[in-house]
């Protein structure tokens, strides 16, 4: 059975067993996928403030008690330390390595932040009859570092990361309408058109994820992206921080449409 | 007292007395302004169907009984035959002349169609903190013939006319959100960016209204326009048709926000 046909429970089981380590884009459709940031307790309150000040890039869905690997808001049987296909470990702001299970490096002072993800609105875009290029091409979404500064909070500061999907202008207008309904999944786009005006010098070379085709009658449309914290962590240098690998999300038991306000 | 400071009743009185014959853009803010199409009874049902099939360009607010100069939906004391600053008379599809009062040419078989107008959402755009260029420049909005075909209905067929307002991409995204709330005032834009792709060869020369500045970091954003019927009438050649002059609307007693669904 293709991974795209698995139920949310089956897919998460495969991920937990390290049988699936790929992108979760287009998988477990209609289920809320989430960005993950794990920090030591003494960095957590500042990151909470960072989320509050940057709600479009960092739409906070939930935050654990120190040491807890579970969070009622996203599902009962989820083990945050094992249920992501690939984790990135950063030490002092530097990427150290990828791991597929956090059991061995888990600490009692870890606090987990679960943030909304644009994959939620991709589901809504497709339900509205729009084609999402990265899903059509079966690859990870294109993500870019920008020159758009986030609002700082304590030791956390840095620039926004964006995801990009190409659309014709009329489909882009429809995409604004659809994604506006999902403020907890980054909401409406933050930019369209000229990449350079937000500091992207080469649209064909994403900073993260895969490149996708942009057709001659299409414009790139940019949404704030949950990879933003990873960029901020590089600047802010906490002794340890663990995130999901870009495009490889935590799949929750909640429905995307639970995040919609209409 | 400047015309922009007049109450809706004062302004309509000036118009009725032919003391004001100009554009109503930016006037009587917060009051619903409307496009007008007047046709003989034997053309009315086909135009009603045309509106039903083209609700974005022709958002129907009300339709009179034959011969009636008033319409409960838009206000009690409005005389449709006198309360528009300038009317355009078309005979057999050809523009014949401008008049400022319809009393002398009124017929008992005239049916009036009152259609929503983008001026309604200009008010909402400004309330949302956006600058509307034509109001900033104190001129009429830019309007263009396009190559976008309307859906035909009986003898009515032709292309859509659009209005254009320039915005930065992020303001354009906000403008999509704001105008989406006003389906009876043309709703969301139908296009942004490249004018040629909808058949506009020279953005600096509007087909109707005035040219406005488009700054280097802005894109033109296009909405369906209530001047569309005037273009359709040229093709469809009813023996007589009367419309408002572009940009010179019927100001009603209803509030723009009564048209908003949120």
Task: Give residue-wise pLDDT tens across range B152-193.
Answer: 999 999 999 999 999 999 999 999 999 999 999 999 999 999
CB A11 within 8 A of CB A193: no
- What are B77-112's pLDDT values in tens digits? 999 999 999 999 999 999 999 999 999 999 999 999
- Set of chain B residues whose Cβ sits within 8 Å of the Cβ of A189: 173
Confidence band of B30 (pLDDT split at 50, 70, 90): confident
Domain-wise residue ranges, chain B? 3-118+236-257, 120-224
d(CA A203, CA B216): 20
Q: Tokens in use for A231?
A: 């960029």
CB A223 within 8 A of CB A260: no
Residue of B224, B109, B214, B205 lying closest to B161 (CA atoms): B224
User: Among A34-43, A84-93, B24-33, B131-140, which is the least confidently predicted range?
Assistant: B24-33
Contact B189 A177 (CB under 8 A): no
- Set of chain B residues whose Cβ sits within 8 Å of the Cβ of A197: 169, 217
pLDDT, residue A258, reads 85
**What b-and-e string marks burial along A106-135, b requiring 16 or more CB atoms within 10 Å of the CB?**
eeeebbbbbbbbbbbbbbbbbeeebebbbb
CATH superfamily to which A3-115+234-259 belongs: PSTPO5379-like (3.40.1640.10)
Contact B169 A197 (CB under 8 A): yes
Choose the mutation target among A176, A190, A261 for the interface with B, i.e. most B CBs under 10 Å. Answer: A176
pLDDT, residue B120, reads 87
Choose the mutation target among B121, B169, B192, B215 for the interface with A, i.e. most A CBs under 10 Å. Answer: B169
Residue of A68, A169, A154 lying closest to A113 (CA atoms): A68
pLDDT, residue B110, reads 98
d(CA A169, CA A203): 18
Q: Is A177 on the interface with B (CB under 8 A)?
A: yes
- Set of chain A residues whose Cβ sits within 8 Å of the Cβ of B191: 169-170, 173
The more confidently predicted of residues A129 and B29 is A129
Task: Judge whether residue B218 has pLDDT over 80.
Answer: yes
CA–CA distances in Å: residue A128 to residues A117, A174, A178, B213 = 18, 8, 8, 35
Q: Which of A177, A194, A217 sits opposite B176 (nearest CB)?
A: A177
- Set of chain A residues whose Cβ sits within 8 Å of the Cβ of B189: 173
- Set of chain B residues whose Cβ sits within 8 Å of the Cβ of A194: 169
- What are A133-169's pLDDT values in tens digits? 999 998 889 999 999 999 999 999 999 999 999 999 9
pLDDT, residue B262, reads 67
Confidence band of B258 (pLDDT split at 50, 70, 90): confident
Contacts of A11-15 spanning 24+ positions with Cβ under 8 A: A11/A251, A12/A78, A12/A83, A12/A251, A15/A82, A15/A83, A15/A84, A15/A85, A15/A251
d(CA A203, CA B168): 20
Q: Is A138 on the interface with B (CB under 8 A)?
A: no
- What are A96-137's pLDDT values in tens digits? 999 999 999 999 999 999 999 998 889 899 999 999 999 999
- What are A205-259's pLDDT values in tens digits? 999 999 999 999 999 999 999 999 999 998 999 999 999 998 899 999 999 888 8
Contact A173 B192 (CB under 8 A): yes
Closest chain A residue to B189, measured at CA: A173
Could you give the 3-state DSSP secondary structure of residue B101?
A: coil
CB B82 within 8 A of CB B103: yes
Class of domain A119-224: alpha beta
Domains B3-118+236-257 and B120-224 share a fold: no
pLDDT, residue A187, reads 95
Whether complex ipTM tops 0.90: no
Confidence band of B3 (pLDDT split at 50, 70, 90): confident
**Residues of chain B with pLDDT > 70: what percent?**
99
Q: Is A128 on the interface with B (CB under 8 A)?
A: no
Over chain A, what is the mean pLDDT? 94
Q: Is A224 on the interface with B (CB under 8 A)?
A: no
Task: Judge whether residue A5 has pLDDT over 90.
Answer: no
Q: How far is B230 from chain A (nearest CA, A)?
A: 24
Q: In this structure, is the dihedral angle defined by the CA atoms of residues B251, B255, B261 and B262, taken in order, positive or negative?
A: positive
Confidence band of B1 (pLDDT split at 50, 70, 90): low
Q: Which of A173, A194, A197 sits opposite B176 (nearest CB)?
A: A173
CATH superfamily to which B3-118+236-257 belongs: PSTPO5379-like (3.40.1640.10)
Over chain B, what is the mean pLDDT? 94
CATH superfamily to which B120-224 belongs: PSTPO5379-like domain (3.30.2040.10)
Find the helix or strand (DSSP H, E) in which B125 lies.
helix B119-127
The more confidently predicted of residues A205 and B23 is A205
Q: Is A217 on the interface with B (CB under 8 A)?
A: yes
Q: Tokens in use for A141?
A: 């979404």
The more confidently predicted of residues B124 and B259 is B124
Find the helix or strand (DSSP H, E) in which B169 lies.
helix B169-180
Task: Judge whether residue B5 has pLDDT over 90.
Answer: no
Q: How far is B173 from chain A (nearest CA, A)?
A: 7
Contact A170 B190 (CB under 8 A): yes
- What are A17-27's pLDDT values in tens digits? 999 999 898 88
């Amino acid at each position: 059975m293709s991974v795209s046909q698995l139920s949310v429970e089956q897919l998460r089981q495969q991920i937990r067993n390290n049988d699936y380590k790929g992108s979760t884009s287009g998988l477990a459709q209609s289920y809320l996928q989430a960005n993950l940031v794990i920090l030591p307790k003494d960095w957590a309150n500042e990151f909470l403030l960072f989320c509050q000040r940057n709600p479009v890039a960092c739409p906070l869905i939930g935050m654990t008690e120190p040491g807890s690997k579970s969070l009622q808001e996203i599902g009962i049987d989820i083990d945050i330390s094992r249920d992501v296909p690939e984790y990135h470990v950063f030490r002092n702001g530097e990427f150290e390595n990828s791991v597929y299970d956090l059991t061995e490096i888990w600490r009692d002072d870890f606090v987990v932040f679960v943030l909304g993800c644009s994959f939620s609105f991709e589901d809504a875009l497709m339900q509205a009859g729009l084609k999402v290029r990265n899903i059509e091409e079966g690859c990870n979404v294109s993500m870019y570092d920008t020159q758009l500064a986030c609002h700082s909070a304590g030791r956390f500061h840095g620039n926004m990361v964006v995801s990009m999907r190409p659309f014709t202008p009329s489909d882009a207008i429809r995409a604004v309408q659809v994604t506006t309904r999902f403020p907890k999944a980054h909401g409406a786009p933050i930019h369209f058109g000229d990449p350079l005006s937000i500091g992207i010098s080469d649209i064909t070379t994403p900073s993260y994820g895969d490149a996708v085709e942009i057709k001659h009658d299409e414009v790139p449309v940019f949404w704030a992206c949950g990879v933003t914290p990873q960029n901020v962590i590089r600047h802010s240098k906490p002794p340890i921080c663990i995130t999901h690998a870009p495009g490889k999300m935590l799949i929750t038991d909640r429905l995307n449409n639970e995040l919609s306000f209409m």
